[in-house]
Amino acid sequence: MKLYGFPGSPNTWKVLALAQHAGVPIELVLVDLTKGDQRQPAYLALNPTGRTPALVDGDFVLWESTAILQYVA
Ligand SMILES: N[C@@H](CCC(=O)N[C@@H](CS)C(=O)NCC(=O)O)C(=O)O
Domain ranges of the chain: 2-72
pLDDT of residue 19: 98
- Over residues 16-67, the pLDDT tens digits come to 999 999 999 999 999 999 999 999 999 999 999 999 999 999 999 999 999 9
pLDDT of residue 48: 98
Which residue has the least CA distance to atom 5 on ligand 1?
51
Distance, CA of 49 to chain centre: 13
Output the pTM of the full model: 0.96
Q: Shortest CA distance to 54 belongs to which of 21, 35, 34, 33?
A: 33
Q: What's the pLDDT band for 2 if we cut at 50, 70, 90? A: very high
For domain 2-72, the CATH class is alpha beta
Please state the atom number of ligand 1 nearest to the C-alpha of residue 12: 10
Cβ-proximal residues to 50 (8 Å cutoff; 6+ apart), any chain: 38, 39, 43, 44
Ligand 1 pocket test, pick from 51, 55, 63, 69 with the greatest ligand atom count within 8 Å of Cβ, gives: 51
Amino acid identity for residue 52 in this structure: T
- What is the Å distance from ligand 1's center to 63 Cα? 10
- 10 to 29, 56, 64: CA distances (angstroms): 15, 19, 12
